[in-house]
Amino acid sequence: MFLRRAVLAGGAALFAAAVLKHNGEDSSEPAVSWPPPFTRCWDPNWDRRESMSLINLNDLKGNREDDLKSQLKKYEAKARRHIYLVRHGQYVKGETDSEKVLTLLGREQANLTGQRLASFGHTYNVMTYSTLQRAKETSEIIGQHLQGMKCAGSDLLIEGHPIRPDPPSRKWKKDVEYFAAGPRIESAFRCFIHRADYEQKDESYEIIVCHDNVIRYIVCRALQLPPEAWLRMDLNHGSITELVIHPNGRVTLTMLGDAGHMPVPKLSY
């Protein structure tokens, strides 16, 4: 009865697909892989957080149709996430991470970025930063302008080469560099970039302080563009990129490498 009514309502395909996947009978969706596959069609369940993905059909009770409807409503995202991706400030070109501290200009850039983020008037929920010295310092300076915010470091966000770019870079890299760093940066994307949890009621504002390559790759993945296109854009030190993730999984890029808060003499790449 439920399936027949779903056909009339145009929802049978989704339900039938869910049943097939649940029973292991659908092989059209590849296993999680890296590099991630690229298709021209938007995948609405790119973060695997659509309601149907969070339901175990074997656990439906009583009237399965009513229980499914209830579960779909329960697990549906309800809030938007605003994610501000900030590139660290200019830094000293040292040999070790401890030597790669922010320059005087880099500290000024971080300070201006902190002022800019504060001027938006948002109450930020959390700031996550790469554990590399330059990103950590940048986050500390930004944090001086934003009170009462949770802060946490993540090794997933450290700089690296995510995937061999297309067109190729003039600076050749060994395949092992992409092989080692790529899955980690992909893990950062999957960990931090997704629609709101179904229990989140209010709009959230979050800051991620990390690196040029990581941000560019995340932008490509979030917009479902070819991930190999990451090197086709460039970002200033201290620049702000904003992604808005809507409850239905749609993603909007509202800012890319915005550095308008800095005087021209303070700009650097």
12-42 pLDDT, tens per residue? Answer: 444 444 444 444 444 344 444 667 777 789 9
Judge if 62 and 104 occupy the same domain.
no
Contact status, residue 51 vs residue 197, Cβ threshold 8 Å:
no
Edge-to-edge order in the sheet of strand 126-130: 150-154, 126-130, 204-210, 81-87, 240-245, 251-258
Residue 248 has pLDDT above 70, yes or no: yes
pLDDT (0 to 100) of residue 66:
87
Q: What is the mean pLDDT of residues 49-71?
A: 89
pLDDT of residue 62: 83
Confidence of residue 86 (pLDDT cuts 50, 70, 90): very high
Predicted local distance difference test score (pLDDT) of residue 61: 85
Residues 184 and 113 in one domain: yes
User: What backbone phi and psi angles, to 5 degrees, belong to 257?
Assistant: 60, 35
- Distance separating the N- and C-terminal Cα atoms of the chain: 61
Question: Does 64 share its domain with 98?
Answer: no
Give the range of the structural domain holding residue 34, as residue numbers without chain letter. 2-74
Percent above pLDDT 70 for the chain: 87
The pLDDT value given to residue 11: 43
The pLDDT value given to residue 10: 41
119 and 98 in a common domain: yes
Q: Which amino acid is at 262?
A: M
3-state SS record for the chain: CHHHHHHHHCCHHHHHHHHHHHCCCCCCCCCCCCCCCCCCCCCCCCCCCCHHHHCCHHHCCCCHHHHHHHHHHHCCCCCCEEEEEEECCCECCCCCHHHCCECHHHHHHHHHHHHHHHHCCCCCCEEEEECCHHHHHHHHHHHCCCCCCEEEEEHHHCCCCCCCCCCCCCCCCCHHHHHHHHHHHHHHHHHHCCCCCCCCCCCEEEEEEECHHHHHHHHHHHCCCCHHHHHHCCCCCCCEEEEEECCCCCEEEEEEEECCCCCHHHCCC
Domain boundary among the residues 29, 45, 74 is at: 74
Q: What is the pLDDT of residue 33?
A: 62
103 and 204 both lie in a single domain: yes
How many distinct structural domains can be found in the chain?
2
Q: What percent of the chain has pLDDT over 90?
A: 78
Residue finishing a domain among 26, 42, 74:
74
Where does a domain end: 49, 74, 99? 74
* Residues 109 and 59 occupy one common structural domain: no
Q: Rounded mean pLDDT of 45-71?
A: 90
Q: Mark whether 18 and 109 lie in a shared domain.
A: no
pLDDT for the residue numbered 64: 85
Mean pLDDT of the chain: 89
Check which CATH number belongs to the domain holding 250 and give it. Answer: 3.40.50.1240
The answer on 42 and 111 residing in a single domain is no
State the pLDDT confidence band at 46, using cuts at 50, 70 and 90: very high
- Tokens encoding 31: 């296993």
Range with the lowest mean pLDDT among 66-70, 143-147, 211-215, 224-228? 66-70
pLDDT at residue 148, rounded to an integer: 87
Q: What is the pLDDT of residues 169-183, one digit of tens each?
A: 999 899 999 999 999
Residues 141 and 178 in one domain: yes
Shared-domain flag, residues 66 and 87:
no
